[in-house]
Amino acid sequence: MSDHVTGPVGPFEPPCYAVVFTSVRGGDGQGYDETAECLDELVAAVPGFLGMESAGSPGGLGITVGYFRDEEAIKAWRSDPEHRVAQRRGRAEWYESYVLHIAKVERSHGFVRG
Amino acid sequence: MSDHVTGPVGPFEPPCYAVVFTSVRGGDGQGYDETAECLDELVAAVPGFLGMESAGSPGGLGITVGYFRDEEAIKAWRSDPEHRVAQRRGRAEWYESYVLHIAKVERSHGFVRG
């Protein structure tokens, strides 16, 4: 996903799921940025989507964490037609490797400098 | 934490917890890198620690995800004396803001280019 840096999103109180997507890119990345921008807009429209954040540096590990209210929201996003096209293209063209963890948030807290 | 890029860690099968720490740095960062290196070594020795990965760029959002087998491992790490000193110093000196989510992994999968 593209890297909009504003600050951490959340904390989100349960019920909430975190979807942790960690990846190493490969290839020339053609079409990646455009697709990521498009997906950023699409995921924001999914009912139950709470927020997303990405970090990474070129050539390094990328981590994107999406927060969703429930399993239904995750399922809706996973099966979104444009997202599915991007998933296939990711495996074919953009990623050397990735790992996805779907996890149920049990507790959260945040800190902001006073 | 320091940024050792090798690839995604995992996937880890349940039972497993993901601790997602998202932060924005501030200040001059004095002592941060040394402390992060020290903590990387300490956390690796915690029974039930599975792996950790970090991504971020200078001035941007940083995301570190630690994976632990169970709540006992998370508690042991949270209450480690050197880690507690670092937590206090983080709030006093290194971070503008952060959010921490503790989440129980329900499922995982990985992809590696064939």
Q: What tokens appear for A70 in the block?
A: 């429930």
Residues from chain A contacting residue B12 (CB–CB below 8 Å): 101
In a domain, A17, yes or no: no
In a domain, A96, yes or no: yes
Write out chain A in H/E/C secondary structure: CCCCCCCCCCCCCCCCEEEEEEEEECCCCCCHHHHHHHHHHHHHCCCCEEEEEEEECCCCEEEEEEEECCHHHHHHHHCCHHHHHHHHHHHHHHEEEEEEEEEEEEEEEEEECC
Chain A interface, mutation test: which of B99, B105, B106, B111, most A Cβ atoms within 10 Å? B99
Chain B contact set for A103 (CB, 8 A): 17-18, 103-106
Which chain B residues have a beta carbon less than 8 Å from that of A16?
101
Per-residue pLDDT band for A6 (boundaries 50, 70, 90) equals low
What is residue B13's predicted lDDT score, i.e. its pLDDT? 86
pLDDT digits (tens, 9 = 90+) for A51-62: 999 999 777 899
3-state secondary structure of B20: strand
Is residue B90 domain-resident? yes
In a domain, A51, yes or no: yes
Distance from the Cα of B36 to chain A's closest Cα (Å) equals 18
Query: pLDDT confidence of B7, banded at 50, 70, 90?
Result: confident
**Preceding omega of A58 cis (within 30 degrees of 0):** no
Is the confidence at residue A27, as pLDDT, over 60? yes
**Residue B114, in any domain of the structure:** no
Residue A94: CATH number of its domain: 3.30.70.100
- The pTM of the full predicted model, rounded to 2 decimals, is 0.93
The answer to whether residue A93 sits within a structural domain is yes
Query: Tell me, what's the ipTM?
Result: 0.92
Number of domains in chain A: 1
Q: Does A68 touch chain B if contact means CB atoms closer than 8 Å? A: no
pLDDT reported for residue A7: 76
Average pLDDT on B80-109 reads: 97
Structural domain containing residue A42: 28-105
Q: Is residue A91 part of a domain?
A: yes
Question: Which residues of chain A does B60 touch, with a Cβ-Cβ cutoff of 8 Å?
Answer: 3, 5, 55
* pLDDT tens for each residue of B47-82: 999 999 999 977 789 999 999 999 999 999 999 999
Size of interface A-B (CB pairs under 8 A): 168
Residue B15 lies in a domain: no
